[in-house]
Structure 1
Amino acid sequence: MYITVVGGGNSTAIFATQAKLAGHDVAILTRQPEKWSKTVGFENQDPTYLNGEKDFEATVDLVTSDPAECIPQSDMIMIAGVPIHFNYEVMRKLAPHIDREKKVFIGTICAYGGFNWIVADVLGKGNYVIFGTQQIPWTCGTLEYGKKGVVFGKKATLRIATEDGKDEHCLKDILGKILSLEGSCVDSDFLVSALWPNNPSVHPPILYGLFKDWDGKKVYQLGPEAPEYIYAEITPKSAELVGKLSEEQVAIVKALSEAQPKNPYLKEDFGYMASLLFAYGDTVKDTSSIYNAIRSTPAYAKHKNPYVQVEGGVIPNVDHKFFTTDLPYGLCTYKDIALMVGVPTPLIDDIIYWNQKLINKEYLVDGELKGKDCGECILPSKYGLTKETVHMGMRK
């Protein structure tokens, strides 16, 4: 199989290395090919993954910035290492080079944020197959840009989202072999991926708990008021808000399940604690509360809060994706579906109002998604979908 890995972020080198080691031809499509080596690799810091082996390396077949050099012959296109708010831009650049008559697997390392809606909107009709991992397969980072990544911890179980949730093309097997997660991949669909507790379920409430009253001027010192690590040093207040937002998500899913009683995936436990244990299993050391669980998850230990260094200390980096992506591609999506099913979401509303002000956007106005910047949001209603059809995507 010829696989093109699109991106230049944390997961690019890792997925490209694993795909090549699994026996595939691999190209990396990136904006800055001059900064990339054809020999890429990653360090594995998870003793329960890959038999505890630490270093992996492979030489890919091509590194390029020109989609014409790799997309036409690709059997799989995997967007890995691209923030999800670039999905429209990426797909528009790839579209002229994708043969609609060919069965091409088009996937993403992050299936939330309406990936299937975006792909179908850009490509229209065709024989392509849309898929994605519901959550990134591992928490990861970059050791050397363009050359070496790092895996902090793998997912204990990985959901593979497909358009019908039935995986008619055996993508679980293909990805399981590439990721060395054979037997750990299970079925899901894109609607569940859009609503499953993920980055937008945790980053915004944590940051809201820390900086709800920030006036845009106050400078913080790293410490209790401004923890360095977003998960390992989560505060009791932020953990409480993660739990409250989780309750609102669960209520949305419950109401949606009543509108779609035949969707088995909507009957699963969407609570944050359940999702954390699903992803990381018994590596979570203390499950007595959300606060303790987040703090005691080894895969979370090294992720930092987004700050900008200024004179005298730090301030929140409102240009970071935790502020700019998790809102229009996450909380606003939740809110749109909540409006479809008539579920009130007071905390989600409060966080949207707070966050949109920080990034100088207007999405939510008087409890409705009618602000001047709503065109930037992933809202199923704007694709003409309803509570009865939102699971179907746009190619049915």
Structure 2
Amino acid sequence: MKVCVIGGGNIGTAMAAIISSQGHSVTIKTGKPDLWSHQIQYIDMESHQLTSAHIAQITSDASVIADADMLFVTVPSFSLAEIAKEIQPYLKKTTPLGIIPGTGGMEFFLKPFIEQGYPVFGLDRVPCIARLIEYGKSVTASKKTSVRLGCFNYDKKELCKKVGSLLGLSCLPLDNYLTVTFTPSNPILHTARLYALYQNASPDHCWQSNVPFYEDWDDLSSQILIACDQELQNICSSITELDLSGVIPLTVHYESATVETMTKKISNILAFKGIPSPMVLKDGHYILDLQSRYFTEDFPFGLCILKGFAEIFHCSTPSIDKVLQWYQDISGQLYLTESGWNGPDLKNTAIPQNFGITTPTDVYQLYS
């Protein structure tokens, strides 16, 4: 099968190597083709086994997707609108278009594709935890044993077989795409941790060293995480005409029912070790990196989306509101005002209301 991967970051590189090692022809579309090698190295985080993978074609030219049998997009959510415009002239209606991961408002940005019958899908989580060693040359990753898939305009079971075969793992179909959108991954995991880490810090606060994002995970982080996740479950319960039982609570996902067990679990996940907090070194000190995707993606294209659905279904979200209010204070963005969910900066987010989805009926029509 001919596969095109758009995006040469952590996940795109790892997926390209995995798919190539399964015997498929892989093309990478990246903005930095000159930095790529046709032979890349993939190192398994657990076994340390090294695999050399061949990349058939490396380019910045979007026309290459016309020859693809499957397309994976691994760019940040805030780039999806631009990518959609770029690929639209070349995408065939027979080529499944996958967004990895499928959260971040994918179904909103690609709504014109969906309405025209293009097969569009997303995975609930990334298929591996990956970190680049050298851009375009090598990556280390921990591949998961399974992922779940939601889609539009394609047979779910058939698509799961194809994606599972490409990635060498189990791929399970979901009843509806909203289950993907509500997956409590980065939009809750990252934002809860950021709040716990920096709630009392000013934007220009200085640290002597970077703080490990996961290895130093504490009980406050777990407390906020569990509270926000419970509010997401409350939103799911209010959407009565869709089966959202597939939105698995983080206490179940991490097999940690209490704050203390959650802290122990997350701080000891091997694939999370060595991941730093979003900070940059300046004048010999570390300061917050507000341009990190932890901020620029996980709030406007993550937590805000969940809050948007809460507003549609009149769900109270005090913990999510507290985290969003903190982000407003530190970033200067304004989402929540004294009169409600109507701040001027909501126009720059991926909330459903920005795409004409304002009532429960709108939600059911899109996802049923």
TM-score between the two structures when normalised by the length of structure 1:
0.86
Task: Give the aligned partner of residue 333 of structure 2.
Answer: 361
1:333 deviates by: 0.5
Task: Give the aligned partner of residue 248 of structure 1.
Answer: 231
SS in 1 for 2:110: helix
Contact 1:287 1:293 (C-alpha < 8 Å) held by counterparts = no
Task: Give the aligned partner of residue 105 of structure 1.
Answer: 96
Deviation string, structure 1 residues 317-360 (Cα, Å, up to 9, x no partner): 11111111111111110111001111111121121122133233
Between the aligned partners of 1:216 and 1:384, the Cα distance in structure 2 is 34
Superposed counterparts of 1:145-156, under 5 Å: 145-151=135-141, 153-156=142-145
Task: Give the aligned partner of residue 41 of structure 2.
Answer: 41
Q: Residue 269 and residue 19 in structure 1: after superposition, are their counterparts in 2 closer, same or farther (change >3 A)? A: closer
Q: Which residue among 62, 70, 73 is the counterpart of 2:67?
A: 73
Q: Which residue among 182, 190, 195 is the counterpart of 1:195?
A: 182
Task: Give the aligned partner of residue 111 of structure 2.
Answer: 120
1:30 deviates by: 0.5
Superposed counterparts of 1:132-211, under 5 Å: 132-151=122-141, 153-163=142-152, 167-168=155-156, 170-181=158-169, 184-188=170-174, 189-211=176-198
Question: Larger deviation: 338-347 or 15-24?
Answer: 15-24
Q: Give yes or no for the alignment of 1:84 onto 2:80.
A: no
Q: Residue 129 and residue 341 in structure 1: after superposition, are their counterparts in 2 closer, same or farther (change >3 A)? A: same
Task: Give the aligned partner of residue 96 of structure 1.
Answer: 89
1:389 deviates by: 3.9
Task: Give the aligned partner of residue 354 of structure 2.
Answer: 382
Task: Give the aligned partner of residue 281 of structure 1.
Answer: none
Q: CA RMSD for the aligned pairs?
A: 2.3
SS in 1 for 2:254: helix
Q: Residue 367 and residue 238 in structure 1: after superposition, are their counterparts in 2 closer, same or farther (change >3 A)? A: farther
Deviation string, structure 1 residues 61-103 (Cα, Å, up to 9, x no partner): 21110112x12222211012x222211111111112224xx31
Contact 2:65 2:91 (C-alpha < 8 Å) held by counterparts = yes
Q: Residue 366 and residue 192 in structure 1: after superposition, are their counterparts in 2 closer, same or farther (change >3 A)? A: farther
SS in 1 for 2:88: helix
Between the aligned partners of 2:181 and 2:293, the Cα distance in structure 1 is 17
Contact 2:222 2:259 (C-alpha < 8 Å) held by counterparts = no
Between the aligned partners of 2:339 and 2:264, the Cα distance in structure 1 is 33
Question: Larger deviation: 104-113 or 14-23?
Answer: 14-23
User: What is the one-letter code of the residue matched to 2:39?
Assistant: T
Between the aligned partners of 2:223 and 2:259, the Cα distance in structure 1 is 15
Between the aligned partners of 1:129 and 1:392, the Cα distance in structure 2 is 18
Task: Give the aligned partner of residue 57 of structure 2.
Answer: 62
1:25 deviates by: 2.4
Between the aligned partners of 1:341 and 1:247, the Cα distance in structure 2 is 16
SS in 1 for 2:98: strand
Q: Give yes or no for the alignment of 1:326 onto 2:298.
A: yes
Q: Give yes or no for the alignment of 1:271 onto 2:249.
A: yes
Contact 2:223 2:259 (C-alpha < 8 Å) held by counterparts = no
Q: Residue 167 and residue 301 in structure 1: after superposition, are their counterparts in 2 closer, same or farther (change >3 A)? A: farther
Between the aligned partners of 1:176 and 1:232, the Cα distance in structure 2 is 31
User: What is the one-letter code of the residue matched to 2:127?
Assistant: P
Deviation string, structure 1 residues 3-50 (Cα, Å, up to 9, x no partner): 110001001222112222323222110111111112223111234xxx
SS in 1 for 2:58: strand
Task: Give the aligned partner of residue 393 of structure 1.
Answer: 366
Q: Residue 113 and residue 269 in structure 1: after superposition, are their counterparts in 2 closer, same or farther (change >3 A)? A: closer
1:384 deviates by: 2.6
Identity %: 25
1:275 deviates by: 2.5
1:269 deviates by: 5.6
Corresponding pairs, count: 365
Between the aligned partners of 1:269 and 1:120, the Cα distance in structure 2 is 22
Task: Give the aligned partner of residue 272 of structure 2.
Answer: 300
TM-score between the two structures when normalised by the length of structure 2:
0.92
User: What is the one-letter code of the residue matched to 1:387?
Assistant: P
User: What is the one-letter code of the residue matched to 1:114?
Assistant: G
1:176 deviates by: 1.3
Task: Give the aligned partner of residue 288 of structure 2.
Answer: 316
Contact 2:205 2:288 (C-alpha < 8 Å) held by counterparts = no
User: What is the one-letter code of the residue matched to 1:158?
Assistant: V
SS in 1 for 2:360: coil
